[in-house]
């Protein structure tokens, strides 16, 4: 079992201070970030016993796409800051471990280069210039994106303790983005992103749309009403509105509200197989893992990321088996102690 804290400290030694700080930090007073670490530990499991778990597997399917495990790679900007292989390195690792990468729109690699590795999901911000957004969607679709993950918690980018690193490389998804993120207002997040944007993205792309960044049943219902095929219960890694509800606390009500209609994913401090099992038991079909992937990339390149993802998948399988389940679908709310169910 990989020690994520050790991985983080090694990455801290290897990366320039501003790069590490940019990846590691959160918004505001980092209240959300600090709470994340304990929130999953506070969920209490009650395993089933005397179940035949021969041939148990965590392989599952998400939006129709088979995956070796419900552990996905969260979208993160500018991965070439962590390692020269950048987004391509992560894509290779995700493919080789049977996971799925969500490619950030603020990628430091051309989407076509990532698409050549294999299928992926494309994260999107709706930008002030909708035409640029459409360009990104077009190129991502052409490059093999299987879904659009539209971030809905970022009408503006929240202030961080540590700002953008000085070495931020040119961004490569679309020519229009082939520059530093913050220089052109048209390329910034739209403040008026609304249901119509989600609908339009689904229509024009023909791809399923995943709404990332809901923390309440109401928010989830709004996304589903706007055509989302899935929602991600997310705090944006503690990098947007500070002081929000931890995702394990938000997840059950969201799953109750929309889990019958669409898929539900969750991120925010998922670090162990036990956490993955808890996410499934609270109503998610998959989890997204962020910073640990960057630390693995920084310290071990693509191989490091693959080892990390394989370890998480192995841990998730062990937890599944130990809980008396044979598949992700088998996991239910009865595995969670009543104090949190």
Between 47 and 64, name the residue whose CB sits nearer to a second copy: 47
Q: Least distance in Å: CB of 93 to a second copy?
A: 21
Site size with a second copy, rule: CB under 8 A: 72
d(CA 112, CA 173): 8
Residue 151 annotated as part of some ligand binding site = yes
CA distances 226 to 96, 112, 193, 236, Å, are 34, 29, 12, 21
Torsion over CA: 77, 28, 282, 312 (sign): positive
Answer for the pair 135, 176: CB distance below 8 angstroms, yes or no.
yes
Q: Which residue has the tokens 């599944």?
A: 320
For 45, 52, 198, 247, the CA distances from 142, given in Å and listed in that order, are: 43, 44, 19, 33
Site for a second copy in 83-142 (CB under 8 A): none
With binding defined as CB under 8 A, does residue 219 bind a second copy?
yes
- Taking the complex as a whole, the smallest distance from the CB of residue 133 to a second copy amounts, in Å, to 15
Task: Determine if 7 is a binding residue for a second copy (CB under 8 A).
Answer: no
Q: Which stretch binds a second copy (CB under 8 A): 28-36, 74-82, 139-147, 301-309?
A: 28-36
Nearer to a second copy, 158 or 176 (CB): 158
CA torsion sign for 147, 153, 158, 161 is: negative
212 is in an annotated binding site: yes
Binding to a second copy by residue 21, rule CB under 8 A? no
Q: Does 275 bind a second copy (CB under 8 A)?
A: yes
Helix (H, G, I), strand (E, B) or coil at 338: coil
For the question of residue 236 being annotated catalytic, the response is yes
**In the complex, what is the shortest distance from the CB of residue 118 to a second copy, in angstroms, rounded to a whole number?**
29
Active site residues: 236
Residue ranges for the binding site?
A: 22, 75-77, 104, 123, 125, 151, 212, 234, 236, 239, 267-271, 290-291
């Amino acid at each position: 079992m990989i020690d994520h804290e050790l991985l983080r400290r090694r990455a801290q030694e290897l990366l320039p201070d501003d790069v590490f700080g940019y990846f590691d930090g959160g918004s505001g007073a980092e209240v959300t970030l600090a709470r994340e670490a304990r929130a999953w530990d506070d969920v209490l499991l009650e395993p089933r016993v005397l179940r035949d778990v021969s041939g148990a597997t965590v392989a599952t399917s998400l939006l129709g796409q088979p995956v070796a495990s419900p552990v996905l790679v969260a979208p993160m900007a500018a991965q070439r800051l962590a390692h020269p292989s950048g987004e391509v390195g992560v894509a290779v690792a995700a493919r080789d471990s049977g996971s799925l990468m969500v490619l950030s729109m603020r990628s430091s690699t051309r989407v076509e280069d990532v698409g050549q590795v294999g299928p992926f999901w494309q994260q999107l911000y709706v930008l002030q210039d909708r035409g640029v957004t459409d360009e990104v969607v077009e190129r991502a679709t052409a490059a093999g994106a299987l879904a659009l993950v539209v971030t809905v918690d970022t009408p503006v980018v929240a202030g961080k303790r540590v700002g953008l690193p000085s070495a931020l490389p040119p961004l490569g998804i679309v020519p229009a983005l082939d520059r530093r993120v913050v220089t052109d207002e048209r390329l910034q997040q739209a403040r008026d992103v609304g249901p119509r944007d989600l609908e339009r993205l689904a229509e024009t792309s023909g791809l399923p749309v995943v709404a990332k960044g809901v923390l309440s049943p109401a928010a989830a219902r709004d996304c589903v009403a706007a055509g989302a095929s899935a929602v991600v219960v997310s705090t944006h890694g503690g990098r947007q509105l500070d002081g929000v509800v931890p995702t394990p606390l938000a997840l059950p009500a969201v799953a109750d509200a929309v889990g019958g209609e669409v898929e539900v994913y969750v991120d925010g401090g998922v670090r162990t197989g036990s956490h993955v099992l808890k996410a499934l038991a609270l109503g998610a079909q998959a989890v997204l893992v962020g910073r640990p992937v960057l630390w693995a990339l920084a310290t071990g390149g693509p191989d490091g990321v693959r080892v990390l993802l394989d370890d998480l998948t192995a841990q998730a399988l062990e937890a599944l088996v130990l809980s008396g389940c044979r598949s992700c679908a088998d996991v239910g709310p009865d595995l969670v102690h009543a104090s949190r169910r």
